[in-house]
Amino acid sequence: MTLGLVLHSALLIPYFSWKYSHRRHHSNTGSLEHDELFVPKLKSKVPWFSKYLNNPPGRVLRLATTLIIGLPLYYVFNVSGRDYQRFASHFDPNSPIYSDQERLQIYISDVGVFATIYLLYKLALAQGFAWLMCVYGMPYLVHNALVVTIVYLHHTHPDLPHYDSSAWDWLRGALSTVDRDYGFFLNTLFHNITDAHVVHHLISTIPHYHAVEATKAIKPILGDYYQSDDTPFHKALWRSITECVYVGPDEGVPSQGVHWYRNKF
């Protein structure tokens, strides 16, 4: 726990805040009402300006914004997170994301992050801002882009359904994610959270060093319910930012609570 707090704080991630919201993500994956991250919007709730960004320059802007500052925007302002109908932030102990029993640890998370910010400030004074950007700033941005890429592509795919409360259940939601192969080196570097993400959602207590083995075991059982995608990640990013703008039910049939990605305004 202490190690997690230190390491996450060093990356400006509020550890306990992330821990609790991520647990709720696992409990509500694929739910339009209760999932915690990369929650797609219904067409009626998409911001008015989205249709003006639904073109190549707009997609480049959206993708760059998501990769570069998407992670801090999520933690600070809950951008792309669950709609709580009021301000929600991973840094706010009174945020609706958390229960009363969790609020003290949100304060502890805040202390860890602000201690890191203070340390970075002192380093900038001692070594210069340019030095700090080279040593910490650029690696920090690369880390953010990697995390966002992995999580975004796991949960944003034209073939993945999302469910409203009339159709969602835990198993349906857990299967609404996709495995993606980044190659042996990156898969190993990321502890196989990339190519064994489906099993991570189905049985999150499996340690990462057994995740690939478990994935091989469940694939024959799941059959067509198992989702994987070998599209190179840069092409997959462009496909998802292009095709996955909002969600809606199947056209021409009564709504059954199942929603699919759309991009036509």
Q: What is the average pLDDT across 62-90?
A: 96
In this model, does residue 254 exceed pLDDT 80?
A: no
> Residue 247's pLDDT band (boundaries 50, 70, 90)?
very high
- With a pLDDT cut of 90, the percent of the chain lying above it is 96
pLDDT of residue 123: 97
In this model, does residue 252 exceed pLDDT 80?
A: no
Q: What is the average pLDDT across 50-76?
A: 96
Whole-structure pTM value:
0.94
Per-residue pLDDT of 193-213, as tens digits, reads: 999 999 999 999 999 999 999
In this model, does residue 251 exceed pLDDT 80?
A: no
Domain boundaries of the chain, sorted by first residue: 2-132+246-262
In this model, does residue 111 exceed pLDDT 80?
A: yes
Q: What is the average pLDDT across 29-58?
A: 95
DSSP output for the chain: -HHHHHHHHHTT--HHHHHHHHHHHHHSTTBTTT--SSPPPBGGGS-GGGGGG-SHHHHHHHHHHHHHHHHHHHHHH-TTS---SS---TT-TT-TTS-GGGHHHHHHHHHHHHHHHHHHHHHHHHH-HHHHIIIIIHHHHHHHHHHHHHHHHHH--TT--EE-TTT--HHHHHTS--EE---HHHHHHTTTTTTTHHHHHH-TTS-GGGHHHHHHHHHHHHGGG--EE-S-HHHHHHHHHHH-SEEEEPTTS---SEEEEE---
pLDDT of residue 164: 95
